[in-house]
Structures are given as structure tokens and as C-alpha cells.
Amino acid sequence: MKLGRLNHVGVATPSIPDSVAFWREVMGATTVHDPFEMEEQGVRVCFVDTPNAQIELLEPLHAESPISAFLEKNPKGGQHHLCFEVPDIEVARAEFEGQGRRILGPTRIGAHGTPIFFVHPKDMGGILTEIMETPKA
């Protein structure tokens, strides 16, 4: 496993506008990207830049969204996952599979337009972990 940089911390929220206000007013964030929808994942996504990584705000689009289930347990939202970059997504996936760690679904294109997959928190020290191929550009 070649561990790359921490790309982002995923944060579930019932309201992206309320969370953006928090990150701007309390945390001093100055760069907030335009929100967009990922229909297949049932989420609206908004990236907030920090000097060395991003915060990925995730708001459910509907009740069947996986973020809706998270918000049922944590109504005010909270930390949802960590995302680390790797140089080669297929190599990384094969390694996790070879270790018997549970990968959640197929490798797919993530919010940054590069391939990603998720590894089950119970096999990752309690942390839902997103593995993302480092953007080429």
C-alpha cells in the first residue's frame, strides 16, 4: 500500500448552507466551491478548501441516501469518512481485497472525477475509508 496525501474529510450535514456558514464564520474558510449533486450516490456535495486538504460536505438528496441513514443516528451531522490518495486504484484495491478487507461496492468515479472505492469501517480501525486515485493533472 502506497499511502498518499489525505485528500479530504467527509462530513455529513443536514444543511450545506448552514455548514458553509460555519466553515466560513467559525473556521475562517475562504474558498468554498459550488455545490453539485451526485444523483447515483443520493448526495449533494460541497468542497471547502483548507490549506492542506478539503472538507467534503455531504447532504442527502432523499430519504434513501446513505447520508440519510447516517443523519438518523447523528441528526446534527458529523465526520463521515476519510479519503486518502493512492497512485494506482487497482493496485490498492487488490491489496485490500487480498487482506480480506470488505470493500463497499465497485470502484467508481468519485466527486473529483477520479476512481474511488470505500473500505468498511470495521476493517479499518473504525474509520470508513475512501481510497482515491491521485488526479493526474
Binding positions for Co ion, rule: CB under 5 A: 10, 56, 83, 130
The residue number whose beta carbon is nearest to Co ion equals 10
Kindly tell me which of 25 and 39 has the beta carbon lying closer to Co ion: 39
The one-letter amino acid code at 82 reads L
Alpha-carbon gap, residue 103 to 87, rounded angstroms: 18
Tell the smallest beta-carbon distance from residue 56 to Co ion (Å): 5
Kindly tell me which of 100 and 105 has the beta carbon lying closer to Co ion: 105
Kindly tell me which of 14 and 66 has the beta carbon lying closer to Co ion: 66
Which residue in 56, 59, 85, 130 is the catalytic one?
Answer: 130
- The verdict on whether 40 is a catalytic residue reads no
Pure H helices in 26-109: 66-73, 89-98
Tell the smallest beta-carbon distance from residue 45 to Co ion (Å): 8
The cell 443520493 sits on which residue? 42
Alpha-carbon gap, residue 53 to 48, rounded angstroms: 9
The cell 450545506 sits on which residue? 16
Catalytic residues: 130
